[in-house]
Amino acid sequence: MDPRPPGDLVIITGMSGSGKASVLKAFEDLGYYCVDNLPVGLIPRFAELVGQSSEIDRTALVVDVREGSQLEELPAIVKSVKRMLPTRMIFLEADESVILRRYSETRRPHPLGTDAPVKSALAAERQHLRPIRAIADLVIDTSKFNVHELRSYITERIRKQKSGKNILVSCVSFGFKHGVPEDADLVFDVRFLPNPHFVPEFRPLTGRDPKVAKYIRSFPQTREFIRRISELLVYLLPHYIREGKSYLTISFGCTGGQHRSVMIAEDVSKGLRKAGYRVKVVHRDSPK
């Protein structure tokens, strides 16, 4: 998503409930001239006007299933528009369960109508959009983003085009006795480290307490683990980005999720931030 010369056009499309409005708002905040639900047939004329304009140099527009059967023309139209000016198409999608939850929370009807359940409408929409997804320059799965994280991700992706560090990393601490996080991409077991639970003064505290963190960090294997894991992640992240990964969840587990995993997640996240990545920390089981 590099900044483009004058005439830059970004077409945003994808599944209903995947966050297109939030992404369009992010582009608007970045100074793009934005249009929602522009009729597909008007895109070539719109692109022509943008290319001729001396006042509008960056534009973004949303096109989606609200267009009905006209949407089938989008692949051919995008191909022709790319001959006029630099154009990129972003396709947003999300897991079915996530979209269903979003519809349940907003209570909005699906654009394909209310005659069929939302689940059936989503299946029909996904099938309808398959040819468009295939030609997208960028596909973003928004399942793990909330509204603010999605807008922030788009903003950072544009601003960090030179560094290429356009991924949101989530460092999660958890306790194995409560189960491994279902959404974890990478899982590291830190139960090999000495357990502060057996130190009476540390038992009621968590790994965020400076005294507990200092105790865990005092062992050479802790410092060595943090160094090696941090180096591994800094090596891996650019490869995940090149594969189109926009969100990575790294989980650290100890027995109860109170001390060791919490401290490790905090320290690793600090190192990743210093390396220039956007990181959030989640302590799933602390305190319990």
Query: For the segment 133-172, what is each residue's pLDDT rounded down to a tens digit?
Result: 999 988 999 988 888 888 888 887 776 554 556 688 999 9
Q: Answer whether residue 120 is part of any domain.
A: yes
Rounded Cα distance, 188 and 58, in Å: 43
Higher-pLDDT residue of 84, 180: 180
| Domain match, 25 and 149 both | yes
Rounded Cα distance, 72 and 122, in Å: 17
| Domain match, 180 and 41 both | no
Q: Answer whether residue 288 is part of any domain.
A: no
What's the pLDDT band for 116 if we cut at 50, 70, 90? low
Q: Nearest CA to 229 among 250, 259, 214? A: 250
Q: Answer whether residue 3 is part of any domain.
A: no
The type of residue at 254 is: C
The type of residue at 141 is: D
| Domain match, 89 and 222 both | no
Q: Answer whether residue 77 is part of any domain.
A: yes
Domain tally, the chain: 2
Other C-beta atoms lying within 10 Å of the C-beta of residue 15 = 23
| Domain match, 89 and 172 both | no
Q: What is the pLDDT of residue 50?
A: 81
Rounded Cα distance, 118 and 109, in Å: 8
Q: What is the pLDDT of residue 113?
A: 64
Alpha-carbon distances of 161 from 4, 164, 286, rounded to whole Å: 11, 5, 36
Where does a domain end: 116, 135, 159? 159
Lowest mean pLDDT among 95-99, 117-121, 263-267: 117-121
| Domain match, 66 and 141 both | yes
Query: For the segment 188-212, what is each residue's pLDDT rounded down to a tens digit?
Result: 999 999 999 999 999 999 999 999 9
Tell me which residue range forms the domain holding 73: 8-159
Q: Nearest CA to 64 among 19, 106, 8? A: 19
Where does a domain end: 159, 183, 210? 159
| Domain match, 102 and 214 both | no
| Domain match, 37 and 106 both | yes
Where does a domain end: 159, 177, 196? 159
Decide: pTM greater than 0.75: no
Q: Which of 89-93, 135-139, 213-217, 273-277 has the highest mean pLDDT?
A: 213-217
| Domain match, 243 and 140 both | no
What's the pLDDT band for 253 if we cut at 50, 70, 90? very high
In CATH, what number is assigned to the domain containing residue 40?
3.40.50.300
Q: Return the DSSP state at 80.
A: H
